[in-house]
Structure 1
Amino acid sequence: MAVEDKKFSYRIYAVAFAIFVMAILVSVKLANIQWVEGDYYRQLAQDATVKDFALPSNRGNVYSSDGSLLATSIPNYTVRFDALAPKGEDFDKYRQGLADSLSIMLGKSSEFYYYELEKARREKNRYMLVVKDLSYTELTRIKSFPLFNLGAFKGGVIVENRIVREHPMGKIAERTIGYDPGRDVGIEGAFAHYLKGEDGRRKMQKIAKNHWKPISDNNEKEPVDGYDVVSTINVYIQDIAHHALLKQLEYYEADHGCVVVMETKTGYIRAISNLGRATDGSYYETINYAVGEAHEPGSTFKLAGLLAMLEDGKVDTTQVFDSKGGDITYYGRHVHDSHRGGYGKVSLARGFELSSNTILVQALYESYKDNPKQFLKRLNEFNLDRKLGVSIKGEASPRIPKPGDKGWSKLSLPWMGFGYGISVTPLQTLTLYNAVANNGEMVKPLFVQEIKEWDKTIKTYDKVVLNPKICSDETLNKVRKILENVVKKGTGSKLYSPNFSMAGKTGTAQVNYGKGKSRDGDMYYASSFVGYFPADNPQYSCIVIIHKPHVGKGYYGADVSGPVFSRIAQKIFTDAPTTNEVKTLSKPLKAQEDLYAGYYSKDKKKSTVPNIIGMSGMDAVALLGEMGFKVEVVGSGKVKKQSLQPGQAFQKNQTITLELL
């Protein structure tokens, strides 16, 4: 018996020893986890429950040249509620007040919100949705409600924000301004590196149902706002150009079209509209045709041939040519005049004014048939053989055939005489005509004039000269007189007004000329007009191209595109004479100065917030800046709301948010 008891005791000792050893091992492991590998495991736990989330920076605004907003980033806020964050006594004390406040602001009954808050508390919901799509002013209001005013930890309020891109002008000039910051479209894409800014960081903690909530009200890194881009677009001229083009497209049931208005001396694009037809017959901005569509220009290209011949001394404007009944043949191919029977024997100048194909082709072919490279050299000097290098992406490459190229043939030279066998963009054609208007100086088209950080200029874009002199003054004077006569007594005579001078050239190109059917369909017409105004002192150049107008209603450039050009030119100088203020921008306006002085003298010495409701946004920003505020602006126009109440005390560098409308 004693032997069995002794064996039993050994077993107990063995088990106790084993437990003791295991306890030591567990203790060693715990110590190792706590002190040796503790940082590693704590990091694993933190990585699983706490993460850094990017806080998108406020993308910079895009402005028109006159200060109107074309694209802006609007903060958009969502408010949620962590029902477990508040203490029981705080929740019971403020629940009814919060429900009443939410009811007044959001429209549903107080009982609805009281029940939802109670339900969230009962179900331990830490991520209850309260409301979406709030403005900053609305967010400030809702954070002042009972319970929510205790903050994130004591009140349970969770604020999420995202940035929404708004375009105050809607769809107008959408392809040029850019409609999606994520795509390389228009100014938004080309100047994204300035507009984007730098994202911030915020720590978020994982809670129930895979939701995340901010750990604190403070961010790990504050986002840095992007710079503002001041475009060359003039809102008033843009509106005129857009609606003039739209009206004509709708009447002629055309496929698509574009219009560009350029400031002569600077190359600033003051208006650009690109409209394509949808399946329902409406028109909208689809493709930037002015920049990205290269096609045969037709008769508007005759200017390049005339400039080259005059500058090379090949012909004179008084030289007489025979239109030969309006039909001449080169290597078995016919060149026709639009006027049946031709124009008889007329001078080169008159042939251009009447847009005679036979006369211009004869002149060009006889001038350069022995040395076509001499003509092509002139085209190179006119910058027609290469891209303009505009800032907006997607510029199409022009096509000018050269001897030795696959596309060169005996027909190439005569076909160039009336704008066929080549491809150029509308913007390239406009740049050539603008050079004639600008005393021979060819400037690059510009879409942006300045990069700014509030009132501080970061970078300016001054005019870029592509060719300081495309031809002599003698040639310029002759050509400008002929372009003026096109409107007075040539193919553009329907546009003539004794009260307003314009100069330019009509064009009626037969797209897919001589090719019959193609993958793009049968041959169709592209009607155009390009020129400048006023003729005696050009301020603007303009091109209008309308593709595939309804032939039954008309297709000649003077009838289809010419009226758009005329409407734009006359409206700019009759309905908006204030465009002359460009020359007197530095001259103060007395009424504006008195208004600002009144506000300034009234509030500059005060230490309380002024009442600026109804004041213009620009004046309000200037005034508050002088008083020491940091100003944030939402919208455009006059001040509708201000985040700080008038009369309350403030500190220097305190932020005030203005909502403009």
Structure 2
Amino acid sequence: MAVEDKNISYRIYLVAFAIFAMAIFVAIKLTNIQWVEGEYYRKLAKERTVKNFVIPANKGNVYSADGSLLATSIPNYTIRFDAVAPKKEDFDKNVKPLADSLSGLLGKPSSYFQTELRRARANKNRYYLLARKLSYTQYMKMKSFPLFNLGAYKGGMITEQKTVREHPIGKIAERTIGYERQDEGGKETRVGIEGAFGAYLNGKDGQRLMQKIAKNQWKPISDNNEIEPRDGYDIISTIDVYIQDIAHHALLKQLELYEADHGCVVVMETNTGEIKAISNLGRTSDGSYYETINYAVAESHEPGSTFKLVDLIALLDDRKVDTSKVYDSKGGDITYYNRHVRDSKRGGYGKVSLAKGFEVSSNTVMVQAVYDNYKDNPRQFVNRINNLGLDRPLGLPFKGEGRPFIPQPGEKGWSGVALPWMAFGYGVSITPLQTLTLYNAVANNGEMVKPQFVKEIKEWNKTIKKYDKQVLNPKICSDETLKKVHAILENVVKRGTGSKLYSKDFSMAGKTGTAQVDYHKGDGQMYYASSFAGYFPADKPRYSCIVVVHKPNTSKGLYYGADVAGPVFKRIAQKIFTDVPSTNEVKKLNRKILNQEQSYAAYYDKVQKKENIVPNVKGMTGMDAVALLENFGLKVKIKGIGKVKQQSILPGQVFTKNQVITLELS
């Protein structure tokens, strides 16, 4: 009996110990979960059941000064097929009509799609790629195809949406309109207006708490901490699409004609400094031209004879000489420190006045005038250059603005030939836009204004920020000097090196430039940069313009500024003079646009309150109207080109999702 009691006691102790040990283990595990691994499990539980989702903000648009869309965000769809999802009878019944529909939309034969769909089914492929980069309209059309119209779970259609940035006017001004991109390593590249004003365009993402209810299905949870996204603002640029189109094609034609390496053209409004057109085209390996580098802003190079305007302003304003002062071109060849300065005309120009020497772009005349009057005090001449702002960048909002170089007396880069070489545009380095800013100041009665690319930042019809004219120098020289400079620049076109540009129908003023470039290569080849800078009309300037063409093919026989760059300038001036409407017409057009904007804004407010109300898109460009209507879920059909004249569903009417609206453009 005692032995039996002892055994029972032993068992009780054993069970008690086991229970105690288990309790200790549970306690340790609970402590570990709570304090050691607690954060991990809380995070895991949250990810599996509740999760914060980012609500992306809509990026703002970039518009031209005349209201055309330059950059916008549009949905882009990739369609894949889950070949396992459809039932056998549904797949067999619909595979042929689906293939026929895909053929009609995507262009490949129906037999191709039948084969691919059946192969995907046989291989149990749940992620077969059907199409990339579909528009919203194409996506909605595909959703209605046989089999796919059964829904994602029964039809197997998988949709991946991505927002992409589009430039409706294509490659024109692409570098200036710009972009924001991120590579696989996370490195961001910001270019042009989009890059410089990204903080305004991008808006701010929101945040929403969601609960998982099934595989890949989440529902919003009512949460006081939900953050609504703030959509990006719109940027109104200074670009005029009409002038931009003229400038782009005029430059492209000349680059192709002379097989040049690259070139740029900029058109600036004289009084405001607003850039109305800017085109930068570089030659690719296949001989075509694209916007790859913003040469007008980034490329600092020796300007050549367009720099002689600095000579003229300095000499006249410092009262060193008058325009009637006569110089001997000395057979077109002068030597300074054993280095030759030569005229383009063999034998020179004989004895001519300073004014005539400038008009015919005589290097020997302009160099003598500068060297004789500033050799004892070169600092005075260099200070003139500095006071014109040519020794420093313009301070543009874009990254990569080229840095100018002006040699300073007593500093590195200064030598005995520095002064004479500067006089005809060598030994100095400035960007085309800097040169244009100087010529624009002359056209603008001496007031130098900063080039401006953006007019204002808007949130619908509300102005967030406005960019007014920025004066860099209220008076670059005296009125007396300006009067003489105006006359001489006009005579360059009438009877000087720019005489090929002359037209009896309208007046122009400016200066040709031909600079030898890459002369340090030592390959025996001669390379040139041909340019023309000026303004029009000569008597009451409205626009200034610079054209630079780098490395035209010299085998074509012509490489001078008047022959290569000049025709681009003339074409732009000619088209603007011929086709730009009068001031009264513009005022009427502006009133019409203002009324349209007010109407559009009112309907937008209404749509925000009730999302199935059709907005008024009459008067909008086709691209803008399609983007707006498709964002609200309408299917859009377009007839014609231009702006919206009629819409099949009247403004203010109620519509249903995927309802078709037809727009007539004119």
Compute the TM-score of the two structures, normalised by the length of structure 1. 0.80
Q: What letter matches 1:442 in structure 2?
A: M
Q: What letter matches 2:45 in structure 1?
A: Q
| Selected match of 2:587 from 577, 584, 587 | 584
Cα distance in 1 between the residues matched to 2:46 and 2:613 = 48
Shift of 1:49: 3.5
Structure 1 pair 266/98, CA: closer, same or farther in 2 (3 Å)?
farther
Shift of 1:439: 0.8
- 1:71 touches 1:166 (CA, 8 Å); kept in 2? yes
Compute the TM-score of the two structures, normalised by the length of structure 2. 0.80
- Spell out the pairing of 1:318-357 with structure 2 (5 A cutoff): 318-357=324-363
Shift of 1:489: 0.6
- 1:643 touches 1:656 (CA, 8 Å); kept in 2? no
Match of 1:550 in 2: 553
- Please tell me whether residue 502 in structure 1 is matched to residue 505 in structure 2: no
Structure 1 pair 337/655, CA: closer, same or farther in 2 (3 Å)?
same
| Selected match of 1:420 from 426, 430, 436 | 426
Structure 1 SS opposite 2:190: coil
Structure 1 pair 247/24, CA: closer, same or farther in 2 (3 Å)?
same
Structure 1 pair 633/38, CA: closer, same or farther in 2 (3 Å)?
farther
Moved more, 10-19 or 557-566: 10-19
- 1:181 touches 1:188 (CA, 8 Å); kept in 2? no
Match of 1:539 in 2: 542
Cα distance in 2 between the residues matched to 1:592 and 1:502 = 37
Structure 2 SS opposite 1:290: helix
- 1:234 touches 1:271 (CA, 8 Å); kept in 2? yes
Q: What letter matches 1:562 in structure 2?
A: G
| Selected match of 1:223 from 226, 229, 244 | 229
- 2:179 touches 2:195 (CA, 8 Å); kept in 1? no
1:323-373 per-residue CA deviation (whole Å, 9 max, x = no partner) reads 111111112211111111111111111111111111111111111111111
Cα distance in 1 between the residues matched to 2:211 and 2:92 = 29
- 1:199 touches 1:222 (CA, 8 Å); kept in 2? yes
- 1:612 touches 1:620 (CA, 8 Å); kept in 2? no
Structure 1 pair 40/349, CA: closer, same or farther in 2 (3 Å)?
closer
Structure 1 pair 560/31, CA: closer, same or farther in 2 (3 Å)?
closer
Shift of 1:306: 0.3
Match of 1:564 in 2: 568
Cα distance in 1 between the residues matched to 2:236 and 2:129 = 39
- Spell out the pairing of 1:63-142 with structure 2 (5 A cutoff): 63-77=63-77, 133=133, 135-136=135-136
Cα distance in 1 between the residues matched to 2:77 and 2:352 = 72
Structure 1 SS opposite 2:487: helix
Percent identity, aligned pairs only, is 59
Structure 1 pair 31/293, CA: closer, same or farther in 2 (3 Å)?
closer
Structure 1 SS opposite 2:555: coil
- Spell out the pairing of 1:23-42 with structure 2 (5 A cutoff): 24-25=23-24, 40=39, 42=41
Shift of 1:537: 1.2
- Please tell me whether residue 454 in structure 1 is matched to residue 457 in structure 2: no
| Selected match of 2:620 from 617, 642, 657 | 617
Shift of 1:583: 5.9
Cα distance in 2 between the residues matched to 1:213 and 1:223 = 23
Shift of 1:577: 2.5
- 2:635 touches 2:658 (CA, 8 Å); kept in 1? no
Match of 1:406 in 2: 412
1:348-401 per-residue CA deviation (whole Å, 9 max, x = no partner) reads 111111111111111111111111111112112211111111122211111111
Shift of 1:279: 1.3
Shift of 1:649: 4.0
Cα distance in 1 between the residues matched to 2:480 and 2:81 = 78
Structure 2 SS opposite 1:420: coil
- Please tell me whether residue 517 in structure 1 is matched to residue 531 in structure 2: no
Cα distance in 2 between the residues matched to 1:492 and 1:329 = 27
Structure 1 pair 341/631, CA: closer, same or farther in 2 (3 Å)?
farther
Structure 1 pair 549/100, CA: closer, same or farther in 2 (3 Å)?
closer
- 2:78 touches 2:159 (CA, 8 Å); kept in 1? yes
Structure 1 SS opposite 2:511: strand
Cα distance in 2 between the residues matched to 1:644 and 1:104 = 31
Q: What letter matches 2:255 in structure 1?
A: L
Structure 1 pair 19/393, CA: closer, same or farther in 2 (3 Å)?
same
Structure 1 SS opposite 2:348: coil
Cα distance in 1 between the residues matched to 2:313 and 2:371 = 14
Match of 2:316 in 1: 310
Match of 2:163 in 1: 163
- Count the aligned residue pairs: 632
Structure 1 pair 80/278, CA: closer, same or farther in 2 (3 Å)?
closer
Shift of 1:132: 6.0
Q: CA RMSD in A?
A: 4.9
Cα distance in 2 between the residues matched to 1:155 and 1:278 = 46
Unpaired runs of 5+ residues, structure 2, are 105-109, 183-188
Match of 2:491 in 1: 485
Shift of 1:497: 1.0
- Please tell me whether residue 178 in structure 1 is matched to residue 178 in structure 2: yes
Shift of 1:287: 1.2
Match of 1:272 in 2: 278
Cα distance in 1 between the residues matched to 2:620 and 2:647 = 11
Q: What letter matches 1:555 in structure 2?
A: Y
- 2:388 touches 2:438 (CA, 8 Å); kept in 1? yes
Structure 1 pair 367/42, CA: closer, same or farther in 2 (3 Å)?
same
Structure 1 SS opposite 2:408: coil
- Please tell me whether residue 391 in structure 1 is matched to residue 397 in structure 2: yes
Structure 1 pair 655/33, CA: closer, same or farther in 2 (3 Å)?
farther
Structure 2 SS opposite 1:302: helix
Match of 1:373 in 2: 379
- 1:331 touches 1:411 (CA, 8 Å); kept in 2? yes
- Spell out the pairing of 1:237-276 with structure 2 (5 A cutoff): 237-276=243-282
Cα distance in 2 between the residues matched to 1:407 and 1:283 = 36
Q: What letter matches 2:68 in structure 1?
A: S
Cα distance in 1 between the residues matched to 2:143 and 2:356 = 76
Moved more, 44-53 or 607-616: 607-616
Cα distance in 1 between the residues matched to 2:459 and 2:405 = 41
Moved more, 359-368 or 22-31: 22-31
1:5-34 per-residue CA deviation (whole Å, 9 max, x = no partner) reads 455434432343234334544665687799
Q: What letter matches 1:506 in structure 2?
A: T
Cα distance in 1 between the residues matched to 2:413 and 2:652 = 76
Shift of 1:44: 3.3
Q: What letter matches 1:510 in structure 2?
A: Q
Cα distance in 2 between the residues matched to 1:633 and 1:413 = 68
Structure 1 pair 160/483, CA: closer, same or farther in 2 (3 Å)?
same
- 1:507 touches 1:529 (CA, 8 Å); kept in 2? yes
Cα distance in 2 between the residues matched to 1:243 and 1:619 = 23
Cα distance in 1 between the residues matched to 2:219 and 2:148 = 14
Q: What letter matches 2:249 in structure 1?
A: H
Structure 2 SS opposite 1:537: coil
